[in-house]
Chain A
C-alpha cells in the first residue's frame, strides 16, 4: 500500500541512503535549513531502529512512502508560513509577484534603465565631441593658424574645458549610481519574484 503511488519502486525495499535521497528530492525547494533538519530527524530514526536490530529496508518500509511523507512535511511548512504571515509561499504559489515583475519590466523597468543608459552614452558622445573641438582649437593655435580673435578663442577654449570637466564628473557619478541602482533594482525584482508584493 505504501508504494502504490510509485510504480517504479513498488514493493522494492530501500536502504537508508536511498530513502533519504528520495525524501530530499521530494521535499523540493523547501528552505535548506528545514530540509537539513528533516533529514537529521529521519536519519536519527534509522539509526535508532538499526540499534534495535531492525534492517534499514524494514525501517524504510514502516516509515511510509517518502513522497507522502514529504507532502506531509510540506503541508506542515505551509501551515507554519500562514501562521507566521510569511509571504514566500503565497508569492511563489499564486504568482502575482512574478506577473508583476514581468509586466513592470516590460512597460516600465527595462525602458527606464535603457533611457538612463542612452543618457550616459549621449553624455559620452558630447564629451567626445567637446574634447575633439578643444583638440582642434589647441592644435590650430599651436600651428599658428589662428591669428585673429585670439581672445575669444581662448574664452571658447576655457568654456569647452569647463564643459568637459563637468561632463566627466557627471559621467563618473552617473555610471557609479547606475551600477548601484541597477543592482538594487535587480535585488528588489528578485524579492518581489520570491516573496510577492508585501509590506515587508
Chain B
C-alpha cells in the first residue's frame, strides 16, 4: 500500500487500538504490525505525536518482570477525534470502493 496513504491513517489505527483499553508501546507495536505492513518502530513517533496533541495520555505501571512500562490511555478528546475521523474514513472508503468495484465489473459510471 502507498506509504503516504498509510501514514495518514495510522494515527487513526492507533487510536482505535487504544479504544479497546490502555496499552503499552510493545503491545501496540505488535498489534499494529500484525495487521498492517509497517515496522514495529512506527508506532512510537505516532504515540508521541498523539500524546502531545492531548488525544492520548500516559502513565507508568509496574510490570511483572522488569522496570515499569509506559501505558497509553485514550482521553475524552481522543475518543471524540477517533469517532469523527473513523466516520469520515469509513464514508470515504465506501465511496472509493463503489468506484473501484464498478470499475472491476467493467461497467462505466453511468447508471
Residues of A whose CB lies within 8 Å of any CB of B are 2, 37-38, 40-42, 44-45, 47-49, 51, 59, 62-65, 68-69, 72-73, 75-77, 79-80, 83
Contact = CB atoms under 8 A, between A and B. Distances in A.
Contact of A62 (B27, B39, B47, B66): B39
Interface residues of B, number: 25
A188 B38 CA distance: 45
Chain A interface helix/strand/loop/mixed: helix
Interface of B: 24-27, 29, 33, 38-42, 44-49, 52-53, 63, 65-67, 69-70
Nearest to A63: B41
A48 B69 contact: yes
Contacts of A69: 39, 41-42, 44-45
B39 A45 contact: no
Interface of B is mostly: helix
Contacts of A47: 66-67
B40 A64 contact: yes
Contacts of A44: 24-26, 67, 69-70
Contacts, number: 74
Nearest to B53: A83
A2 B39 contact: yes
Contact of B70 (A41, A63, A73, A80): A41
5 contacts: A41-B25, A41-B48, A69-B44, A80-B49, A80-B52
